[in-house]
Structure 1
Amino acid sequence: MRRKLERAWRTRRARAGTIAAATTAVALLAAPLAMAGPNGFGSESGGHGSGGDGDWVTAWSASPQGSSTLGKFGAETVSGTNQAELLKQITPPITAFNDETVRQVMYLHQGGDAVRIRLSNQFGNQDVTFPTVTVGKRAGDSGADVEGAPVPVTFDGSDSVTIPEGGDVLSDPIPLETEALDHVVVSMFVPAGQGPATVHGNSMQTFFTTPGDKTAQTDDANFTENGIVPNRFTSSLTTAVYYATGIQVEGEEGDKTIVAFGDSITDGFLSDGNTDGRYPDALARRVQENPDTANLSITNQAISGGRVLSQGFGPSALDRFDKEVLEQPNIGGVIFLQGINDIGGAIFQDGLGTATADQLIPAYKELAARAHAKGVPFYIGTLTPAGNLLRPTPYGQYSLPQAVAERNKVNEWLRGEGSRYFDGVIDYDAAIRDPLVPDWIALQFDALDNLHPNQAGYEKMAESIPQEFLDQMANG
């Protein structure tokens, strides 16, 4: 019913804006994206305004950050491409699934009449084969039971797919009607001998495993739930996403993918497990409540511990931006929040020092220019507080006076002279800082590590995005 109502009001809105939309389309069609490389986005997604995307948008995503090095019940948050050698020496064995079904739950930020599943072997050390993959809507509000029967996922018409080392693959369109804010369950059978899994280390969502091929099983009986979620600290360190990096839905004309791009603050580190409490999740709920912005699909391309200028726990923003933003189907904008790890010098990363505002600012300009060259709006957020020396953040140098000074310099530039380089500046800093000690996160928004917001803080960040920016992206 809701999708029928959405179709009705979207049709009315589309008719009202036909002339403006046609004019915009002519301008955008003049500069389509080049075809993508081996990552496979470009073969299905021609880029912003290219006309090759149909009505597909990305409704869920997780940025791959490396191969698992910490075991499927360990701290995968700090797995990744630049993990400290000392940490590697003391961690559990890598996650290499052994004749197991891996069942994972994803929170869709847009609905549609069909889905496509993206699987990645970007950081594997050999080809990986999945004999069977299924998808279905989750039954109920928790667990991993499937509503009805799981639907087989095919790849070029075949149930089985082999992904070469370093590659990824997008499935065929699979008929499955979904609505925005539904949960779907993706199950994949992973035979023994596949090597280390490509991982996104911080999912804030438990996953399920069981011996053998149980991809067609409707309920989650005899599955083991992996992850510990009695509080936000344990869930941040024990939940992960394996192999799956995106779900696209075939939505309605005018739907747009909006990428929330960043680090652990966008990734929802220290939000509550199994509650969809990241700020992009809260933003997705916000845009869906408003008919004028319900065509936006907010997708999350964040890596906890990620940096702008160099590898953190995963590729740098400069290295992954084009693939994870500009090659999304029907890309309508990016909301960028990253840089605090460059300034603070996150721990457990080899060979990296700290960066200055003068080093970050040119990178921000470059990323905005890349987006604008493809006709993609670029919104940027101020860096959030971490300066409480009475309770310094434990992950690096974030709370030291020199780091606080560099953060403030970045924010002053964004609010002032630098604002002209972007389509809008979102003042996340002002939204969650302490009014009396502005270098601190306000206590009601602090996850108590003096760096990350808590669930209320993430909600506040989503609320702080000006409505006019959302309207611009919805109507762009």
Structure 2
Amino acid sequence: MGRALKLAIVAVLGLAMGTAGAADGSSEPSGHWVTTWTAMPQLTEPGNMPPAPYTQEDLVLADSTVRQTLRVSVGGQRMRLRFSNAFGGAPLPITRVTVALPSDGKAGVSAIQPQTLQPVTFYGRPSTVVSVGAQVVSDPLDLALPAGTVLSVTAYLADGQASTDITSHPGSRTTSYLAKGNQAEAADLTGATPVDHWYFLSGIEVWSKPATATLALLGDSLTDGRGSTTNQNNRWPDQLFDRLRTDRRTAGVAIANQAAGGNRVLNDGLGPNALARLDRDVLAQSGVNWLIVFEGVNDLGTAADTQDAQKKVADELIAAYDQIIVRAHAQDIRVYGATLTPFGGSFYDDAQGHREAARQAVNEWIRTSGRFDAVIDFDRATRDPADPRRLVAAFDVGDHLHLSPAGYKALADAVPARLLHR
């Protein structure tokens, strides 16, 4: 091969690589993609489906607009969206997507600031079809997002999804809005129906500084925020982020909350079990540097309340934690184990105390095995000193299992900031 031809090939390859880099944002110096917000994808239960007329037989959200708000953690100069059809029974055709800032800058409102509205594209096109079981990542969008920004994402589905198996995150603790017709660019939605769920949207990434990195959280309803205040972003991950952003050493920590109410480590429940979803929800996320594992209460609570059954599930949980550690360490992710919080007096409690004994056995392993890179003692932070089987009364939302916003603050405060220094 002649020298001139070699130079020509190098030039063409360089141009192609430069074009690809520009397309995904990676041509910008001194930065990388970081996951700054997530909603764990789930198969939508019948009670959490869009109401009529947005669901008609086997057609969902036909000629309908869904406007959703969310709060990012760290900010960046560019952003891109992820939509999931992980549990869809048919391809998901998305006709139009826009992003904007909400009218008052807060979560849970249907109105936007029209001057901030920008269209979202997918490979340069305004629409896309998400294959069954797949996800789609949008083109990068030049929209600078300061840390903690609340963002409105609006999607219009002209044809709808031809299945009642759809992907969502029911426990949004945030109000979304459904409306008929193409209102993707409307300043406010006409005839909107509020629903406290997120549909299809599963992640936001930002192009951010090299020092930024993501903390992923693997959890259940205690991390998803049951007991927190709708539209107030006061789950413990939110309160942890608010605390971390005030310190320059941790201001670059993004948080990916990959939790869902009813989720279990060992067996499917509401959403796939933690072992099955680890790759999708943690290892495949952009920029993950740390993982907190705070899950297992539902495994204990749904197993039989006999001594043998509880010993078996405790042993299996410990083995599962070890598997999570091994798989995350293979991706150079540091893994922190959080002890399981008390549930005495709840619907999981049993008169013989076998579940409490199993919780204590699991927590003892988390604290003393040395397998986790560090231990976060949520049990110690929330238990009643006078009755360690139970939550502190001020932290109890009322069911003796889930926490109030004050209880979630106690969890957030129990995470040592030093564990998140780069």
2:10 equivalent in structure 1? none
2:156 equivalent in structure 1? 189
1:146 to 2:112 alignment = yes
Q: 1:406–1:258: structure 2 CA closer, same or farther, 3 Å change rule?
A: same
1:35 equivalent in structure 2? none
2: CA distance, partners of 1:132 / 1:109: 25
Q: How many angstroms does 1:445 deviate by?
A: 0.2
1:167 to 2:117 alignment = no
1:84 equivalent in structure 2? none
Name the aligned partner's letter for residue 173 of structure 1: P
2:15 equivalent in structure 1? none
Consecutive unaligned residues of structure 1, counting only runs of 5 or more, are 1-42, 47-51, 75-91, 227-238, 348-352
Name the aligned partner's letter for residue 357 of structure 1: A
Contact kept in structure 2, 1:308 and 1:317, CA below 8 Å: yes
- The alignment partner of 1:421 has SS state of coil
2: CA distance, partners of 1:201 / 1:380: 26
2: CA distance, partners of 1:120 / 1:459: 31
Contact kept in structure 1, 2:76 and 2:146, CA below 8 Å: yes
Name the aligned partner's letter for residue 133 of structure 1: V
Consecutive unaligned residues of structure 2, counting only runs of 5 or more, are 1-22
1:468 to 2:418 alignment = yes
**Which of 187, 203, 220 is the equivalent residue of 1:218?**
187
2: CA distance, partners of 1:380 / 1:415: 8
2: CA distance, partners of 1:223 / 1:377: 44
Structure number having the greater strand percentage: 2
Q: How many angstroms does 1:146 deviate by?
A: 2.0
Q: How many angstroms does 1:219 deviate by?
A: 2.7
1: CA distance, partners of 2:376 / 2:278: 19
Q: How many angstroms does 1:382 deviate by?
A: 0.0
Q: Deviations over 1:292-327 (max 9, x none)?
A: 101110110001101111101111110111221111
- The alignment partner of 1:439 has SS state of strand
Instruction: Compare 184-193 and 378-387 and name the one that shifted more.
Output: 184-193
**Which of 366, 369, 373 is the equivalent residue of 1:414?**
366
TM-score when normalising by structure 2? 0.86
Contact kept in structure 2, 1:387 and 1:399, CA below 8 Å: no
Q: How many angstroms does 1:345 deviate by?
A: 0.6
1:59 equivalent in structure 2? 36
- The alignment partner of 1:431 has SS state of helix
1:179 to 2:173 alignment = no
- The alignment partner of 1:175 has SS state of coil
Contact kept in structure 2, 1:146 and 1:218, CA below 8 Å: yes
2: CA distance, partners of 1:325 / 1:400: 37
Contact kept in structure 1, 2:40 and 2:259, CA below 8 Å: yes
- Report the aligned-residue RMSD: 2.4
1:374 equivalent in structure 2? 331
Query: Percent identity between the aligned chains?
Result: 35
1:260 equivalent in structure 2? 217
2: CA distance, partners of 1:245 / 1:71: 17
**Which of 316, 332, 335 is the equivalent residue of 2:292?**
335
Q: Deviations over 1:165-199 (max 9, x none)?
A: 11110001011111111100000012344123211
1:403 equivalent in structure 2? 355
1: CA distance, partners of 2:401 / 2:59: 29
2: CA distance, partners of 1:398 / 1:410: 17
Name the aligned partner's letter for residue 125 of structure 1: G
Contact kept in structure 1, 2:84 and 2:167, CA below 8 Å: yes
Contact kept in structure 1, 2:99 and 2:152, CA below 8 Å: yes
1: CA distance, partners of 2:351 / 2:216: 29
1:106 to 2:37 alignment = no
